[in-house]
């Protein structure tokens, strides 16, 4: 049966891809088979556009236990038999169509990725991007997304420890919603997502299957944003209560020896869960869709296999243990139904009662083509990277305070407490550093250890210089990690880009990945999991290339952790690291907010960066620092002001300014950290910095109620606080 153009469009496969399927199978695929191919060969499941580039990421390390692609999430060993698994995933398209449910099910999906492996999810973070809140529709999306994250996450009892939120015109009509989840467990107790052992049962657990979310992977995630508006039915509806029951039941099951594997039904539902499990297990499977419990009548085999109904899991049960497993799920009042068996023939066989509707080799189904494009450096980058300061007026000294207040109040910099107070960030009794500092810190119960979590990304930097933007995304995440006292361990990421068929978008993707890889190698933070979200564009205009890094660090002794707030009057404030130069103004928040310009490339030297981070970690470990805060958006003046606001203390200091005032105050030069230390520790800190070959400069002292940078800014901290607190 020749396939129509409309049919191919519905599942987002090209004619060429269709022909490849026919060639590999040696025949035309059936309707159900075509549906399976459409999902498994989508970018969301198959990474066909990005796979070649993703290989550039370093993914080895002595503590890496599970690498990208091996299981649902990457896993690292934090010593003493304890393991930590984490992953970040995007839910951009669904969140645009239906912000509350889109964001909620994004949380649900990433949480399932963690507990599927037998790890208990203990923390969530989110990285969000919206258009300016001055536009009502952006405000609607923002409110819906935050509501959905809270509504779903709070019900699960997993601490949501913050993340990051940025606003820019380019995300109008194309918001980014990336959810990051971390779980802990014991080494040796990992559950794998594989189906093996002929005759073992495939059990479907949790919610009934409906038509919701049909074609989510191929339909939504493969289209640009103006195309998806009409696809509201492709967004799933979440039931966090069901998910909470699944978490508890599956973690209980993970401790038994009754199963060989577990896999969640995420993108492409039953299709990807079963085929991927069979592929990893080197087996085949035989499923009867008639055995799948449904919430709607008249669903076809095609619809059952491609539904993305939430809160469902596949459990591969050892033959003979099925009644025990069913009793366990019954106790949690969850459905469990045997829908098929594992076979050894490496074939996917789907039956609809007596009729076989699909019968294709696992390997063909799960081996999408890999595309390489010819990346082309866009000509417009040259102009963009050049920062012509002669055309940009420096800040008159009398205006510096006013500009600082403006920067503190801008939604990209101001306090996000109005968001994170809607998330339960303390459940679990682990959260040591609450949202709002450079990194969240969670202790590992019954050990002296703690882990840090951060999300970082700067679309503007990547837009102007994709390679360095990629480097900086990783470097800044690591710097934030170091500021908490944690040693950076590994990263996950979400790569949010436009349509990769366009040469310049593919160039951005390639350069960002190269930049991130270089930084990951230098900073010894392998990439252990991740996700790619392409086609982020509306009316032909792509978003800023926005790779988001989720980094996890390890603190040996939680007593030695650090936050960004100044702690004591009389402490001495230092700038550790790069003194900064005019390149720091490039693509800065200041340049955009005050001068309306996005131009000029940032610069970074990874050697300097590494030394700085090592020095800060050592200083915190030795108890020399009372605060540490990364200089990022808004530069040194904003970093100092934030440490004052958060500590409720003033600052009195003097800057050694040789060149432009705006560079000194608001430039975002990389590799700089503002720290404070007691007078007794100051000398030791200076000699430590000297030993690490890290520049250190005394800026002033903590104390009083004024924020005073001599000759330039003199404002009450209360006024800074007010601007920063009420910005959103």
Identified catalytic residue from 49, 91, 425, 712: 91
The binder of another protein chosen from 29, 102, 109, 150 (CB under 8 A): 150
Q: How far apart are CA 179 and CA 125, in angstroms?
A: 6
Shortest distance (Å) from residue 53 CB to another protein? 39
Nearer to another protein, 431 or 546 (CB): 431
Q: Name the CA radius of gyration of the chain, rounded.
A: 26
Q: ∠ CA 132-134-135 to the nearest 5 degrees?
A: 85
Q: Does 206 bind another protein (CB under 8 A)?
A: no
The binder of another protein chosen from 428, 498, 530, 545 (CB under 8 A): 428
- With contacts defined by CB under 8 A, name the span among 110-118, 147-155, 361-369, 681-689 that binds another protein: 147-155
Q: Does 240 bind another protein (CB under 8 A)?
A: yes
Q: Does 165 bind another protein (CB under 8 A)?
A: no
Coil/strand/helix, residue 401: helix
Q: Does 131 bind another protein (CB under 8 A)?
A: no
Shortest distance (Å) from residue 119 CB to another protein? 15
Q: Does 623 bind another protein (CB under 8 A)?
A: no
Shortest distance (Å) from residue 313 CB to another protein? 17
Shortest distance (Å) from residue 561 CB to another protein? 9
Cα 549 → chain centroid = 6
Q: Is 712 in the active site? A: no
The angle that helices 503-523 and 466-483 make with each other, rounded to 10 degrees, is 30
Q: Does 564 bind another protein (CB under 8 A)?
A: no
Q: How far apart are CA 473 and CA 496, in angstroms?
A: 13
Q: Does 155 bind another protein (CB under 8 A)?
A: yes
The 8-class DSSP code of residue 437 comes to: B
Structure tokens at 311: 């809160």
Q: How far apart are CA 627 and CA 574, in angstroms?
A: 10
Give me the residues paired with residue 163 across strands: 126
With CB under 8 A, what is the number of residues at the site for another protein?
32
Count the neighbouring beta carbons within 10 Å of the beta carbon of residue 446: 7
Shortest distance (Å) from residue 338 CB to another protein? 24
Contacts of another protein in 65-124 (CB under 8 A): none
Residue 70, CA distances (Å) to 191, 347, 528, 711 in order = 12, 21, 10, 58
Contact between residue 164 and residue 62 where contact means Cβ atoms under 8 Å apart: no
DSSP code per residue over 471-504: HHHHHHHHHHHHHTTPEEEEEEEEEE-S-TTSHH
- With contacts defined by CB under 8 A, name the span among 196-204, 205-213, 428-436, 584-592 that binds another protein: 428-436
Shortest distance (Å) from residue 158 CB to another protein? 8
Q: How far apart are CA 699 and CA 573, in angstroms?
A: 5
Shortest distance (Å) from residue 246 CB to another protein? 11
Burial status of residue 373 (CB atoms within 10 A of its CB: 0-12, 13-18, 19 or more): middle
Contact between residue 469 and residue 463 where contact means Cβ atoms under 8 Å apart: yes
The total number of residues shown for the chain amounts to 728
Contact between residue 459 and residue 166 where contact means Cβ atoms under 8 Å apart: yes
Q: Print the binding letters for residues 408-427 with another protein: x by CB under 8 A, - otherwise.
A: ------------xxxxxxxx
Nearer to another protein, 157 or 293 (CB): 157
- With contacts defined by CB under 8 A, name the span among 79-87, 146-154, 357-365, 490-498 that binds another protein: 146-154
Coil/strand/helix, residue 261: strand
Q: Does 558 bind another protein (CB under 8 A)?
A: yes
Give me the residues paired with residue 531 across strands: 494
Q: Print the binding letters for residues 49-68 with another protein: x by CB under 8 A, - otherwise.
A: --------------------
Contacts of another protein in 274-333 (CB under 8 A): 332-333
Q: Is 91 in the active site? A: yes
Q: By CB under 8 A, name the binding residues for another protein.
A: 150-151, 154-157, 239-242, 244-245, 332-333, 420-429, 431-432, 434, 443, 445-446, 558-559
List the catalytic residues.
44, 91
């Amino acid at each position: 049966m020749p396939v129509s153009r409309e049919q191919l469009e519905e599942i987002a496969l090209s004619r060429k891809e269709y022909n490849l399927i026919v060639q590999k199978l040696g025949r035309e695929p059936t309707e159900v088979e075509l549906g399976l191919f459409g999902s498994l060969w989508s970018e969301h499941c198959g990474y066909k556009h990005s796979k070649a580039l993703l290989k550039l990421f370093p993914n080895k390390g002595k503590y890496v236990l599970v690498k990208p692609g091996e299981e649902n999430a990457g896993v690292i060993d934090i010593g003493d038999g304890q393991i930590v698994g984490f992953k970040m995933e995007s839910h951009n398209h669904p969140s645009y169509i239906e912000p509350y449910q889109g964001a909620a099910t994004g949380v649900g999906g990433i949480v399932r990725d963690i507990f599927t492996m037998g790890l208990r999810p203990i923390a969530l973070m989110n990285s969000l991007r919206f258009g300016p809140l001055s536009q009502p529709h952006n405000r609607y999306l923002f409110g819906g997304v935050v509501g959905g994250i809270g509504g779903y996450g709070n019900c699960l009892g997993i601490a949501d420890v913050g993340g990051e939120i940025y606003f820019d015109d380019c995300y109008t009509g194309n918001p980014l919603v990336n959810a990051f989840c971390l779980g802990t467990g014991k080494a040796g107790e990992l559950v794998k997502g594989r189906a093996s052992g002929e005759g073992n049962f495939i059990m479907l657990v949790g919610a009934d299957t409906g038509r919701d979310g049909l074609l989510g992977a191929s339909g939504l995630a493969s289209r640009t944003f103006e195309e998806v508006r009409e696809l509201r039915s492709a967004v799933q509806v979440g039931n966090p209560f069901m998910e909470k029951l699944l978490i508890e039941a599956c973690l209980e099951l993970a401790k038994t020896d009754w199963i060989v594997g577990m896999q969640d039904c995420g993108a492409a539902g039953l299709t990807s869960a079963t085929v991927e499990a069979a592929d990893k297990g080197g087996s085949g499977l035989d499923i009867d869709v008639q055995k799948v419990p449904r919430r709607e009548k008249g669903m076809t085999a095609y619809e059952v296999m491609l539904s993305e109904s939430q809160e469902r899991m596949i459990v591969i049960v050892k033959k003979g243990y099925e009644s025990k497993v069913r009793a366990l799920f019954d106790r949690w009042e969850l459905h469990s139904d045997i829908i098929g068996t594992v076979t050894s023939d490496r074939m996917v066989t789907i039956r609809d009662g007596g009729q076989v509707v699909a019968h294709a080799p696992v390997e063909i189904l799960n081996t999408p083509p890999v595309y390489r494009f010819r990346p082309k450096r866009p000509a417009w980058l040259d102009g963009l990277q050049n920062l012509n300061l002669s055309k940009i007026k420096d800040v008159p000294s009398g205006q510096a305070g006013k500009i600082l207040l403006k920067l503190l109040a801008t939604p990209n910099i101001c306090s996000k407490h109005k968001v994170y107070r809607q998330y339960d960030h303390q459940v679990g009794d682990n959260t040591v550093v609450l949202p709002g500092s450079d990194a969240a810190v969670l202790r590992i119960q019954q050990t002296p250890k703690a882990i840090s979590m951060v999300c970082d990304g700067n679309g503007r930097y990547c837009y102007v210089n994709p390679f360095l933007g990629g480097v900086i995304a990783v470097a800044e995440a690591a710097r934030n990690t170091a500021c908490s006292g944690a040693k950076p361990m590994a990263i996950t990421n979400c790569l949010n880009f436009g349509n990769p068929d366009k040469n310049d978008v593919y160039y951005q993707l390639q350069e960002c990945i190269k930049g991130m890889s270089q930084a990951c190698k230098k900073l010894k933070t392998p990439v252990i999991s991740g996700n790619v979200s392409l086609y982020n564009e509306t009316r032909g205009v792509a978003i800023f290339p926005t790779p988001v890094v989720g980094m996890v660090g390890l603190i040996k002794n939680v007593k030695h952790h650090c936050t960004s707030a100044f702690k004591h009057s009389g402490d001495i404030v230092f700038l550790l690291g790069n003194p900064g130069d005019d390149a720091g103004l490039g693509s800065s928040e200041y340049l955009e907010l005050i001068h309306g310009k996005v131009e000029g490339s940032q610069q970074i030297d990874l050697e300097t960066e590494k030394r700085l981070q090592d020095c800060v970690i050592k200083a915190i470990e030795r108890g020399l620092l009372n605060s540490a805060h990364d200089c990022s958006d808004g530069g040194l003046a904003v970093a100092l002001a934030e440490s004052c606001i958060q500590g409720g203390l003033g600052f009195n200091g003097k800057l050694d300014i040789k060149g432009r005032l705006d560079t000194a105050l608001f430039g975002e030069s990389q590799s700089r950290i503002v720290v404070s230390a007691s007078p007794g520790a100051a000398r030791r800190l200076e000699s430590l910095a000297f030993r690490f070959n890290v520049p250190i400069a005394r800026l002033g002292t903590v104390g009083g109620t004024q924020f005073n940078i001599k000759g330039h800014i003199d404002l009450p901290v209360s006024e800074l606080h007010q601007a920063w607190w009420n910005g959103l």
